[in-house]
Structures are given as structure tokens and as C-alpha cells.
Amino acid sequence: MSQKTVLQLPLNRVEGDLDVKVEVADGCVADAWCSGTMFRGFEQILAGRGALDGLVITPRVCGICGTAHLTAASRALDAIAGVEVPDNGVRLRNVALMVEHVQSDVRHGFLMFMADFANSAYRKHPLYEEAVRRYEPFRGQAVRETVRETKNVLEIVAILGGQWPHSSYMVPGGVVSVPEQNDLLQCLHLLRQYRRWYETRVLGCEIACWNAIKSASDLDAWLMEKEEHRESEIGFFLRFSEKAGLFATGKGHGNFISFGSFDLPRQTQVKPGKDGDRRLVPAGFARGTTVEAFDSEKIAEHVSHSWFLDSREARHPFDGETRPYASGFEGQKYSWAKAPRYDGVPAETGPLAEAVIAGRPLFIDLVRKSGPSVLVRELARLARPALLLEAAETWLHEMAAGDGDFYNPPEEIANGVGAGLTQAARGALGHWVKIEDRKIVHYQIITPTAWHASPRDDGGVRGVMEEALVGTPVKDDQNPVEIGHVVRSFDACLVCTVHSLAKAGRAARMRG
């Protein structure tokens, strides 16, 4: 008879409040439940406010991805106003969002995910001492470098948008900030500085060399080719992860979703991420590596296991409600996150989903060979800046070279319905907005982490992280580092809650 243990794990190093409960039987996770433990209520805050208020309030949903929320809010209002954003407005929006992505990708990698490599659970791993030297919290070499470099690259958003985070410079029709030549040259300098560090320390090679890797065997050959490759952060990640077995955990449902992002300006040297899609990161849905066209009408939110008033059926976000209901249904409802589904099924989003849907050969090959995993998911995140940095540099050059408009004034936004869909650093982000008599009457937000950390849906199907946890081996239930790997591979973000310093020994948690 197998022995069952239930572990209740408040996870740190995720953004916000996430509780994971797992049932362990015979040394493996047999079942899992993910619970968002804080009600936010931004939808209620926005109802009744002025049509443009989402531009100021939603970037405060999160201190990590405010630019993504601003992008989504602006795109929803663009749609309602029926206004076309001029090319330079598109470029500036894109560059700012890219900067937010590339800093988030490496911060997550080296400050949050790889911190687990320095966990004492790995003290017998042959690369443990080197992992501690690189990733020990506050002191590791990669940790220190990452903080310095990301601080500098984020200045680009401050130059283009006045501040970061919580900026509000995007508006329907474009952006309100028009950078001078000197501003753009400064941005180019900062971007190139970041790119140099990324190529030298993270990749261990030039971006063009990395992008030439098209298959798992290419990746093996690249790793063996030079010491610079093996000693780079990605090289070290691959070597450590292989020995830790991270290619075999965290598989999940195997469905992927991307809302698409980075619209191409009408005139640009940047190529689309996929033929027929005018974006650098295409939209789509994939079962395994079979990609289908994306249809936003297939999105619905389930609340049967969430602390919200039940609806008779799953609802599209234009029809959804956010009415908290935390009493009753004990044992069934267990999260403040809703359960978004696409065409009735859960789907993971983020850098790996973007790579699969774009048909990037390396990741298609890796997923076909061994399915999604902790290793492949984190590799996609660490490698994403290799795609974005080149396009950002091109768009900064194009802005500096031309005199085009950044803003196309729209008509007054009095009535209408619009959706703002984009990719945040962690994946698919949508704002669904209805305006009546110049007021917001409906606002629904689905964040990437709602896709990942959702509870079960109306059919009892596990959320993405819940499913990915099943089968995870747990060697030590007092230090279940394997569970941390799976959860952190999704870069979970249950958003900023309360910043405070609590005196040691007190029950209050430090969080924020």
C-alpha cells in the first residue's frame, strides 16, 4: 500500500501569493492544487471610471509587467476608437515592451529560477559549488551582474516613457512621448551595452551564432564546441539541468497559446515571426507542435473552483463577471484565480509557447523529442532576448532615421467595445473593455499566470501548473526543490500585493 503525504507549500520567489498543495505517493506527486490567495478586484476598481482610466490604473496591476498592461489597455482603446497607430508609435510601444521582456527573462532566470541550483538539495551535484558561486541569493556573480545590467537597460523605458514601472505614456492612437534624437541615441547605447553583456555572459556567443542552432543535436554540438559556450549561463544551465533531470519533469497538458505581440510597422526591416502574421511574435494555439489559427472567441473563463459567484457556464471575458464569493463550497472552491481555457482546454503560454507557435526549429525539435519540460521551458525564456534585442535595435534605428508621427489623435471615446491582446513577459495577456457614455462599464483582465496557475475547470480538469506537477519526483518532502523547479519554470506571477518589512519571528510574511 502506498504512503501518501500532503505538502502545503507557500512558494517564495514567485511574484505574489501562490500556495501549492501536492499529494505525494511513492515519492512522486500524485495530485496538485494551485491557489491564488489574494483577491485583487481591479475589474471593480475600473467599473464606472472614465474611458481612459485603464491607462493609469492597469499598469499598477503589477510592478513587473506594467508596460504589458499599458500595451493591452492601449490596444483595447485603439480598437474602440478605430484609430491606427502610426509607425513610430508602433515602434516605440514595441521597444518599451521588449525591454520589459528582456530584463524580466534574465531576472527570472538568474535571481529566481537558478537560485534553486544553489539549494542544499544539490550539494552532491558535481556542479553545485559553481552554482552557488553564480546564483547564491544576493551574492552570486550572475545575480550581481543581472541586477546591474537590468537596471541599466530599463532606463530605456524611462527615457521613452518617463518612468518604469507603472508608466502611462501609451494612449489610443500611439504614444504621448516623442523622443529626441539624443534620447534615441542614448537608448541605442543602453541596448547595445545590454546586448554585449547578454552575448558575452548569457549566451557565450553572438546572437547570430545562437540563432543558427536549429535542433537538439545542434544544441549538443554548440555546447561541446567551445569553452565559452559551456561556461556561459545558458551553457551552465544546460549542463546542470541535464544532470538534475529537468528534461523529464514539468510536462503538463502540452497545449500552447500566444495572443501575439509586436505588430510590425508598415515600413520596417524587421521580418514577421511567421509568414502571414504581421507581428514579430505570432498568435496561435498549438496541441503539441500542431499549430492552429488563433480565435479569441474560443477563450472562456471557468469559476466552478474559484472564489467567485458561479455562472451557469464558462464565459467569454466580454461577458464574464468578477464577483467574489468566498463562503460555501468548501473543498471545491480553492483559488482567487479563475480558470481560463481555450476551446475548452488548458494551455500554457510564455516564451516556449511563443517559440512553438512561431515554429522555431530548435524548440519544435526539443518538444517533439521529449515534450515540454522544466528544462525546455526555462531555456526558451533565457533565449528569448536573442530574438527581441535585434528587432529592438532595428526599430530604434528606424525611429532615429525618420520624422514619422508617434501619435494619431482619435475621436472622443464615448461608446464601444474592444479587446487589447498582447504577450507580457510571462505570456498571453488580455484586457476586454466596454465603454458607455464615456465610462468604463466592463473590464476583464486575463493574465498569463491565470492561464498557468488556474485551479480546475468546470470539467474538473487540472490547471496547467497543477498538471505539470503530477509525476514530479520528490526526494525530500522537507525540501521539495523539484516542485519549486516546476512552478518557477512557468515564471508564476500572482502580482504585487503588500510591501512590508516584518520583524523576524512574527507570523506576518514579507511579501510585495
Partner 1 sequence: MREKREDKRIICVGNRFVDSDDIGPQVYDYLARRDMPGAVSLIDGGLMGLDLLRFVEGARRVVFVDVLHGFAPPGRPVVLDRSMVLEERPTGYGHDGGLACLLRMLPAVCESDLPEIALVGAEPPIGPDVVEQLADMALSIATRERYGRERNTAIDAPQPGAP
Specify the residue, 185 or 414, whose C-beta has the smaller distance to partner 1.
Answer: 185
Specify the residue, 42 or 294, whose C-beta has the smaller distance to partner 1.
Answer: 42
326: cell is: 468566498
Asked if 14 interacts with partner 1 (CB under 8 A), we say yes
Residue 281, strand partner residues: 261
Asked if 165 interacts with partner 1 (CB under 8 A), we say yes
Asked if 15 interacts with partner 1 (CB under 8 A), we say yes
145-174 burial, b if ≥16 CB within 10 A, otherwise e?
bbeebbebbbbbbebbbeebbbbbbbbbbb
| Strand 493-494 versus strand 15-16 pairing type | parallel
202: cell is: 548569457
CA 268-272-278 angle, to 5 degrees, is: 85
Position among 16, 54, 174, 282 found at the interface with partner 1 (CB under 8 A): 16
Contact code string over 25-54 relative to partner 1, x by CB under 8 A: --------------------x---------
Residue 431, strand partner residues: 420, 445
Asked if 4 interacts with partner 1 (CB under 8 A), we say no
Specify the residue, 202 or 353, whose C-beta has the smaller distance to partner 1.
Answer: 202
Specify the residue, 90 or 337, whose C-beta has the smaller distance to partner 1.
Answer: 337
409: cell is: 489623435
Asked if 345 interacts with partner 1 (CB under 8 A), we say no
Asked if 491 interacts with partner 1 (CB under 8 A), we say no
Position among 154, 191, 366, 392 found at the interface with partner 1 (CB under 8 A): 154
Asked if 478 interacts with partner 1 (CB under 8 A), we say no
Residue-by-residue DSSP string for 77-145: HHHHHTPPPPHHHHHHHHHHHHHHHHHHHHHIIIIIIGGGGGSGGGTTSTTHHHHHHHHSTTT-HHHHH
- Binding-site size for partner 1 (CB under 8 A) equals 41
Asked if 337 interacts with partner 1 (CB under 8 A), we say no
Contact code string over 181-200 relative to partner 1, x by CB under 8 A: --------------------
114: cell is: 537558478
Asked if 82 interacts with partner 1 (CB under 8 A), we say no
For the bound state, the minimum distance from the C-beta of residue 449 to partner 1, rounded and expressed in Å, comes to: 13
CA–CA distance, 43 with 96 (Å, rounded to integer): 25
Position among 143, 175, 246, 362 found at the interface with partner 1 (CB under 8 A): 143
Query: What is the layout of strands, in order, in the sheet containing 4-10?
Result: 4-10, 18-25, 28-36
For the bound state, the minimum distance from the C-beta of residue 511 to partner 1, rounded and expressed in Å, comes to: 5
Q: Which stretch binds partner 1 (CB under 8 A): 291-299, 302-310, 408-416, 501-509?
A: 501-509
For the bound state, the minimum distance from the C-beta of residue 296 to partner 1, rounded and expressed in Å, comes to: 28
| Strand 18-25 versus strand 28-36 pairing type | antiparallel
CA 29-33-35 angle, to 5 degrees, is: 140
Specify the residue, 97 or 111, whose C-beta has the smaller distance to partner 1.
Answer: 111
Q: Which stretch binds partner 1 (CB under 8 A): 122-130, 335-343, 366-374, 492-500?
A: 492-500
Smallest Cα–Cα separation from 402: which of 414, 394, 392, 410?
394
Cβ contacts of 129 within 8 Å, gap of 6 or more: none
Specify the residue, 157 or 219, whose C-beta has the smaller distance to partner 1.
Answer: 157
Site for partner 1 in 214-273 (CB under 8 A): none
178, exposed or middle or buried, with CB in 10 Å at 0-12, 13-18, 19+? middle
For the bound state, the minimum distance from the C-beta of residue 207 to partner 1, rounded and expressed in Å, comes to: 26
Q: Which stretch binds partner 1 (CB under 8 A): 57-65, 235-243, 333-341, 408-416?
A: 57-65
Asked if 138 interacts with partner 1 (CB under 8 A), we say yes
CA–CA distance, 257 with 358 (Å, rounded to integer): 11
Asked if 502 interacts with partner 1 (CB under 8 A), we say yes
| Cα of 122 vs its chain's centroid, Å | 27
For the bound state, the minimum distance from the C-beta of residue 50 to partner 1, rounded and expressed in Å, comes to: 17
Asked if 166 interacts with partner 1 (CB under 8 A), we say yes
Position among 147, 209, 216, 441 found at the interface with partner 1 (CB under 8 A): 147
CA–CA distance, 453 with 455 (Å, rounded to integer): 7
For the bound state, the minimum distance from the C-beta of residue 233 to partner 1, rounded and expressed in Å, comes to: 16
Specify the residue, 60 or 189, whose C-beta has the smaller distance to partner 1.
Answer: 60
- Bond prior to 385 in cis (omega within 30° of 0): no
Asked if 164 interacts with partner 1 (CB under 8 A), we say yes
Specify the residue, 107 or 274, whose C-beta has the smaller distance to partner 1.
Answer: 107
CA–CA distance, 496 with 316 (Å, rounded to integer): 26
Site for partner 1 in 118-137 (CB under 8 A): 137
Contact code string over 92-121 relative to partner 1, x by CB under 8 A: ---------------x---xx--x------
Give the max Cα distance, the chain. 74
441, exposed or middle or buried, with CB in 10 Å at 0-12, 13-18, 19+? middle
Q: What are phi and psi of 274, to 5 degrees?
A: -155, 145
| Cα of 29 vs its chain's centroid, Å | 25
363, exposed or middle or buried, with CB in 10 Å at 0-12, 13-18, 19+? buried
Asked if 503 interacts with partner 1 (CB under 8 A), we say yes
Specify the residue, 285 or 490, whose C-beta has the smaller distance to partner 1.
Answer: 490
Asked if 344 interacts with partner 1 (CB under 8 A), we say no
* Contact set with partner 1 (CB under 8 A): 12-16, 45, 57, 60, 63, 107, 111-112, 115, 137-139, 143-144, 147-148, 151, 154-155, 164-166, 496-504, 506, 508-512
